[in-house]
């Protein structure tokens, strides 16, 4: 049967669709204290009805905006579906934002109700309430509320009870709930998702039910999933990518389990043993770094076998995806290293993964090929919040590394005269909330201007080369694309991350975050245990020589004007809490440039 068959025209009708096809206890769970807790009891439809009725007692009407300020968890999805089934609009807010940022988004969206996950998030709402004049109530998923706050507060349990009481008193009924859900039209607004701010001030992206359903149906035709699959989710549901993926999982009957936290990911992989998973490039890069570090710590025959296994993985990833045979030595060694090394590596991430999906940022080609060689295909896709979100994806059966695959069935792509990628289709946003001028800047004649630069190959696969607005222009007028340089630098064994700078300067330079253990080993020193030890290591001449050698290898094939002429070693890691990374782990260039302005100025002094 076509997996997309019967999917309703709106997300408002999704709870009834899912409850008719799949039992809830096998669908949604969460990792807590070393075990998986699945949601039991009522059907998904009953849970969503209960929350929706309760929200209606707070005055949530069709078209009202309701914010969710929470990390990913089952209640996030339940609240989202209840909002949508009420004809209201979901406004996701990242829980990593400050109270000032939360207040700005609540105010801009005009949210009347906010649903917060815990006491810390509710405290942000209390501090933000004076900035948010439309806000009339707060709902707490977990914990107890206090009286005397700036707005009325309720627990999620209280909300469900209010809904039950309204039903018992005849003020609400199943028929009324169904009537509201059925009254939602495909072109009605479903959600306002604020962009992460990696390229400027966050903007509210308006997505309709039709936008998201079109994307959902397209993805359904490409990814082969079934009720036998189990997915581990650790990316934020606030992000359009993971939220759409969650809808895809549910409509296939895939059991969806939320990780306890990013810090518990390694343990949760062993606990859940997923068959499918989504991630961002940094997750896979760090995963590969751990694999290589662990193997290189071996000695004797075990180290020789590991080195052979990695050589086989590289050869397999280099040839097989492109339809070419492996070298004879690799074919002969494969059964041995698959049994001794690859099986051990895959067991450490659960042992059952059929494939994973990477999105949100470009995946380094060598990382994808290496995992393919080990036995874990990574399916890379591409899209933006404004495109609901997927535009292209590699098919699991035909992965073209270095590209982000072909367009979805209902999506059209073309490359503009300046190299910019333009997209058209039913998944393109309705516009930026209350920003018609900025909407007009990015949508012309029905084509959405992505801001990314790329090319299409003969098979129709898209290759991303850079962000249009992130191209650096030197004082000599030469244009330098930073992302390919940064990707090449991250491919060096001693470099964990890099940010290329030089806009308006004589030459490009780079801020380097090292892989400290590898860098220390390269000069025969123990790994640094704190920031002071990092500073001492970074100041050594032999350390700078090792980093310079890595940069020289990246510079070798480049034109003279592209070559990185200077560098500085940073000792503090980038982080979401520190503000250098978005919640989806993309670098905020403006923040980094401002934070390290003195260091950058010194490079050009």
- Give yes or no for residue 156 having a pLDDT over 80: yes
Secondary structure E strands in 363-518: 378-383, 390-393, 406-407, 412-415, 420-424, 431-432, 443-444, 447-456, 462-467, 472-473, 479-480, 495-501, 509-514
pTM of the model: 0.84
Side-by-side strand order, sheet with 35-38? 35-38, 28-32, 255-258, 230-233, 276-279, 355-358, 378-383, 390-393, 406-407
Cα 83 to Cα 64: distance, rounded to the nearest angstrom:
9
Per-residue pLDDT, averaged over 422-431, amounts to: 97
pLDDT band at 90 (very low <50, low <70, confident <90, very high): very high
Contact status, residue 501 vs residue 511, Cβ threshold 8 Å: yes
- What three-state secondary structure class fits 556? coil
Could you tell me which residues come within 8 angstroms of residue 212 by beta carbon, excluding any fewer than 6 positions away?
11, 190, 191, 244, 247, 388, 427
Two tokens at 590? 């403006």
Two tokens at 46? 């009953």
Contact status, residue 472 vs residue 509, Cβ threshold 8 Å: no
Averaged confidence pLDDT in the chain: 91
Per-residue pLDDT, averaged over 430-443, amounts to: 96
Per-residue pLDDT of 172-201, as tens digits, reads 777 888 999 999 999 999 999 998 655 557
Q: State the pLDDT at residue 96.
A: 86
Per-residue pLDDT, averaged over 421-429, amounts to: 97
Cα 76 to Cα 118: distance, rounded to the nearest angstrom:
12
66 closest CA partner among 155, 152, 134: 134
For residue 576, being part of any structural domain is answered with: yes
- Give yes or no for residue 48 having a pLDDT over 50: yes
What is the percent of the chain with per-residue pLDDT over 70, rounded to a whole number?
A: 97
Q: What share of the chain is helix, strand, coil (3-state, %, to 5)?
A: 45, 20, 35
- Among the residue ranges 64-73, 197-206, 569-578, the one predicted with the least confidence is 197-206
Q: State the pLDDT at residue 286.
A: 87
- At 482, which CATH number? 3.30.300.30
DSSP-derived pairing of the beta strands 89-93 and 113-116: unpaired
257 closest CA partner among 81, 37, 77, 47: 37
159 closest CA partner among 39, 51, 45, 48: 51
- What three-state secondary structure class fits 260? coil
For residue 400, being part of any structural domain is answered with: no
Q: C-alpha angle with apex 373: 367 to 379, nearest 5 degrees?
A: 55
User: Residue 59's Cα: distance from chain center in Å?
Assistant: 33
For residue 144, being part of any structural domain is answered with: yes
pLDDT band at 42 (very low <50, low <70, confident <90, very high): confident
Per-residue pLDDT, averaged over 282-304, amounts to: 91
Two tokens at 48? 């969503």
Helices 240-252 and 209-220 pack at an angle, to 10 degrees, of 60
Q: State the pLDDT at residue 456.
A: 95
Q: State the pLDDT at residue 24.
A: 65
Cα 124 to Cα 95: distance, rounded to the nearest angstrom:
9
In the chain, count H helices and then E strands: 22, 27
Two tokens at 348? 């450490």
Residue after which a domain boundary falls, among 272, 295, 310: 272
* Omega of the bond leading into 169 within 30 degrees of 0 (cis): no
Q: State the pLDDT at residue 26.
A: 62
Residue after which a domain boundary falls, among 237, 255, 272: 272
What is the percent of the chain with per-residue pLDDT over 90, rounded to a whole number?
A: 71
pLDDT band at 339 (very low <50, low <70, confident <90, very high): very high
CA dihedral of residues 52, 57, 58, 63 (deg, nearest 10): 60
For residue 70, being part of any structural domain is answered with: yes
Helices 74-85 and 44-57 pack at an angle, to 10 degrees, of 60
- At 124, which CATH number? 3.40.50.12780
Q: State the pLDDT at residue 498.
A: 94
For residue 529, being part of any structural domain is answered with: yes
Q: State the pLDDT at residue 204.
A: 96
- What three-state secondary structure class fits 100? helix
For residue 279, being part of any structural domain is answered with: no
Higher pLDDT, 538 or 43: 538
- Give yes or no for residue 67 having a pLDDT over 70: yes
- Give the residue numbers spanning the domain of 541: 472-604
- Give yes or no for residue 385 having a pLDDT over 50: yes
Contact status, residue 111 vs residue 67, Cβ threshold 8 Å: yes
pLDDT band at 1 (very low <50, low <70, confident <90, very high): very low
Q: How many domains does the chain have?
A: 2
118 closest CA partner among 84, 144, 91: 144
- Give yes or no for residue 285 having a pLDDT over 80: yes
Long-range contacts of 172-178 (CB under 8 A, 24+ apart): 172/53, 172/56, 174/49, 177/49, 177/52, 177/53, 177/85, 178/16
Higher pLDDT, 176 or 438: 438
For residue 440, being part of any structural domain is answered with: no
CA distances from 40 to 23, 24, 26, 30 (A): 9, 7, 9, 12
151 closest CA partner among 170, 128, 171: 128
Side-by-side strand order, sheet with 153-155? 153-155, 137-140, 113-116, 65-69, 89-93, 189-194, 204-208, 431-432
Please give the full DSSP string across 155-167, using - where no structure is assigned: EHHHHHHHHHHHH
| Segment of 106-115, 291-300, 355-364, 519-528 carrying the highest mean pLDDT | 106-115
- Among the residue ranges 130-134, 190-194, 555-559, the one predicted with the least confidence is 555-559
For residue 333, being part of any structural domain is answered with: no
Two tokens at 174? 């199943």
Per-residue pLDDT, averaged over 158-167, amounts to: 86
């Amino acid at each position: 049967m076509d997996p997309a068959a019967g999917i309703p025209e709106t997300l408002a009708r999704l709870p009834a669709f899912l409850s008719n096809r799949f039992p809830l206890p096998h669908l949604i769970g969460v990792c807590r204290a070393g075990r998986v807790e699945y949601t039991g009891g009522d059907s998904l439809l009953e849970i969503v009805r209960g929350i929706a009725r309760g929200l209606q007692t707070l005055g949530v009407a069709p078209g009202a905006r309701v914010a969710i300020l929470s990390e990913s968890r089952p209640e996030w999805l339940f609240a989202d579906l209840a909002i949508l089934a009420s004809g209201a609009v979901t406004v996701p807010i990242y829980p990593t934002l400050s109270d000032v940022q939360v207040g700005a988004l609540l105010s801009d969206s005009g949210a009347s109700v906010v649903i917060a996950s815990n006491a810390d998030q509710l405290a942000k709402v209390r501090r933000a309430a004076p900035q948010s004049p439309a806000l009339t109530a707060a709902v707490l998923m977990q914990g107890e509320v206090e009286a005397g706050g700036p707005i009325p507060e309720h627990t999620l349990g209280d909300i469900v009870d209010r809904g039950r009481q309204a039903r018992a008193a005849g003020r609400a009924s199943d028929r009324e709930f169904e009537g509201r859900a059925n009254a939602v039209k495909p072109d009605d607004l479903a959600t306002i998702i604020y962009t992460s701010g990696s390229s400027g001030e966050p903007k509210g992206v308006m997505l309709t039910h039709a936008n998201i359903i079109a994307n959902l149906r397209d993805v359904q035709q490409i990814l082969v999933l079934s009720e036998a699959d189990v997915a581990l989710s650790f990316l934020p549901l606030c992000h359009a990518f993971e939220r759409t993926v969650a809808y895809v999982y549910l409509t296939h009957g895939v059991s969806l389990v939320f990780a306890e936290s990013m810090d518990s990911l390694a343990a949760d992989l062993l606990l859940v043993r997923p068959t499918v998973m989504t991630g961002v490039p940094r997750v896979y890069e760090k995963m590969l770094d751990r694999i290589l570090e662990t193997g290189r710590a071996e000695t004797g025959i075990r180290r020789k076998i590991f080195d052979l296994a990695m050589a086989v993985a590289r050869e397999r990833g280099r040839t097989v995806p492109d339809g070419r045979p492996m070298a004879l030595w690799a074919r002969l060694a494969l059964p041995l290293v698959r049994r001794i090394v690859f099986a051990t590596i895959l067991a450490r991430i659960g042992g059952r993964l059929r494939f994973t999906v990477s999105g949100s940022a470009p995946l380094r080609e060598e990382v994808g090929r290496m995992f393919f060689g080990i036995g874990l295909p990574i399916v890379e896709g591409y899209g933006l919040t404004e495109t609901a979100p997927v535009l292209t994806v590699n098919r699991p059966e035909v992965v073209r590394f270095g590209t982000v695959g072909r367009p979805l069935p209902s999506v059209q792509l073309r490359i503009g005269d300046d190299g910019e990628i333009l997209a058209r289709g039913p998944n393109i946003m309705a516009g930026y909330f209350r920003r018609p001028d900025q909407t007009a800047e990015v949508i012309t004649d029905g084509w959405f201007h992505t801001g990314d630069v790329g090319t299409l190959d003969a098979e129709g696969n898209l290759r991303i080369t850079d962000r249009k607005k992130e191209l650096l222009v030197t004082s000599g007028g030469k244009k330098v694309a930073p992302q390919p340089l940064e990707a090449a630098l991250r491919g060096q064994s001693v470099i964990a991350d890099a940010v290329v700078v030089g806009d308006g300067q004589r030459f490009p330079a780079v801020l380097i975050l090292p892989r400290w253990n590898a860098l220390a080993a390269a000069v025969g020193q123990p790994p640094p245990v704190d920031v002071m030890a990092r500073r001492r290591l970074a100041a050594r001449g032999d350390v700078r020589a090792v980093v310079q050698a890595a940069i020289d290898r990246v510079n070798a094939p480049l034109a003279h004007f592209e070559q990185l002429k200077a560098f500085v070693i940073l000792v503090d890691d980038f982080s979401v809490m520190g503000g250098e990374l978005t919640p989806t782990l993309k670098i905020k260039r403006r923040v980094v440039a401002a934070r390290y302005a003195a260091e950058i100025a010194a490079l050009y002094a």
